[in-house]
Amino acid sequence: MNWSVKTANSIMERLPQIYEDKGYNGKWSYDYGVVLKGFERVWKQTGEQKYFEYIKKNMDYFINEDGAIKGYRIEEFNIDHINNGKLLFVLYKETGEEKYKKAADLLFTQLEKHPRTSEGAFWHKQIYPFQVWLDGLYMGTPFYAEYQLTFANGEELEDIIRQFKVSYQHLLDEKTGLLYHAWDEKKVQPWANKETGLSANFWGRSIGWYLLALVDTLEILPTDTPDRNFLVEILEKTLKAIVSYQDEASGVWYQVTDKIHEKGNYLEASCSSMYVCAIAKGIRLEVLDRQEWEAQLKKSHQGLLDEFVLLTKEGWVNLNKSCQVAGLGGADRRDGTYTYYISEPVICNDQKGLGAFLQALAEFEEVMNEE
């Protein structure tokens, strides 16, 4: 069974009016960009135009002829709002329509003006000052890289590497090799350690965002980019750390990565999908050794199917056990404790989980077809 095609078709068929008529329910939200990047991969592998048209139809709801984006406000300086812009490059390349380039220009203008830490790392949001979250590397950095290489002659590639260097330096836990969810440079947030500025736990999906940011950026950067090997090194180191916290029986991973035996922790679909995607894509890009990683990839891919997937009576793919949302601070004062991370709702067919799952399936199938 071609699971990527089956999953893409399930997404298209389940609620077509919400996705096609209202551009994913009318909200410029990063999670839909995760899904649509999965569709881009399926389209490239199958050549079926309906998948490209699905991307275009959803994005066209938001993109005006002058490049303005419905529901987007640059002054929020929210790095999450950059993510959907990754689809603009393929749309511009395939159609030549200037509105897509203009929209990409608008999002790049945000990055040019986006507030940064003293070492040059992007804040997560204007309302989260001096904070670097793992999530933000996925949201902004691959777009930044592709924009530079598509429209700006690759002028700022060293700044892209800097985002990873600064974040890795501050968020790495040397003992485990895992990365903490977030870091507050000012060390003033209620969730931040007063000495280190770090949040208290290793959240599975945040590490997944970081791993996807690495492989997506590696795919974009030329192989002769200075310090590109740094990204390869931290990809492999982080994946090796993750594997040591895998649930051996199922082949997948927990919501709070290192607390395997703690009461309330659960196997979680979105982070597990992201890890599978990162391994498969790393093999495809030849930055991970196939001999070393293929058995792990096969085991974890099968784990996704066995642990999280159920088919409906219509034959649609349901992805279970995704954390709906997790963050730090804000109006609801999310405190980053273990209790907090396991208290957020666990839902079926969360868009972030589905998108990561679709990307993982497509990458896995491409790698296996190369054998």
Q: What are the residue numbers of the active site?
A: 135
- Residue 94 — φ and ψ, nearest 5°? -80, -35
Q: 150 with 102: CB under 8 angstroms? A: no
If we measure between CA atoms, which residue out of 91, 32, 37, 50 comes closest to residue 358?
A: 37
- Residue 131 — φ and ψ, nearest 5°? -110, 130
Rounded to whole angstroms, the Cα distance separating 309 from 311 reads 7
- In angstroms, how far is the first alpha carbon of the chain from the final one? 17
Q: How many CB atoms lie within 10 A of CB 210?
A: 27
Token pair in block for residue 87: 């689809």
Token pair in block for residue 9: 């078709």
The C-alpha angle with vertex 303 and arms to 300 and 307, in degrees rounded to 5, equals: 150
Handedness of CA 210, 211, 216, 220 (dihedral sign): positive
Work out the burial of residue 156: count CB atoms within 10 Å of its CB; fewer than 13 is exposed, 13-18 middle, 19 or more buried.
middle
Q: 201 with 181: CB under 8 angstroms? A: yes
Residue 282: HSE in the Cβ half-sphere, 13 Å Cα cutoff:
31
If we measure between CA atoms, which residue out of 242, 255, 258 comes closest to residue 324?
A: 255
